[in-house]
Amino acid sequence: MASVLGWIGLGFFLLVLLIGIFSIAFGIPGTWIILLDAIIYAWITHFNVLTFQGLILLILLAITGEVLEFFLSIKGIKRSKPSKGVILVSFFSGLILAIMMAPLFFGLGAIIGALIGTFGGAFLMEYFSQKRLGHAMHVGWKAFLGRLVGFLSKFAIASIMIVFILTKIFSG
């Protein structure tokens, strides 16, 4: 019976890791979901598999992922000298479209929605503010690229976290 519960627990643990990495597409801090999952696993296994040192590394990676995504997402758009409120509108429009498109393409619609929404929000806000099509396109494109690079950076860090965790669990 205990082994059945162990397998169920491991399955749930792996499911939460997947939820963590896919939640990044929605703008949800997936690295923290992965970290919390790892902390719970470490606690249940009395820190024999995932040690305190390993958890500290995961904490540093989670912080790095969130900070990197934030700064890379706004860096490009700020260089294009957007109007007031463009960054905020592009963030929320990307989030809303990610949620709306999540059911499409087996969940990949969330990523597409986040990118299109970020571009669209930045473009429309800038266009209605400045009435300059070329500049609005430039701002939208920079918002799109910033969001893409931020997403890819955070996804890469989340992937590193998961590989580290699974290596620890399945190598011993």
Q: Provide the whole-model pTM.
A: 0.81
SS3 content of the chain, % helix, strand, coil (to 5): 85, 0, 15
Please determine, for residue 1, whether its predicted confidence score (pLDDT) is greater than 60: no
Domain ranges of the chain: 2-170
Tell me which residue of 28, 53, 26 sits closest to 38, measured CA to CA.
53
For 52-74, write each residue's pLDDT tens digit.
999 999 999 999 999 998 888 88
For 148-160, write each residue's pLDDT tens digit.
998 899 999 999 9
* CB of 105 closer than 8 Å to CB of 112: yes
**Spatial separation of the C-alpha atoms in residues 130 and 144, rounded to whole Å:** 19
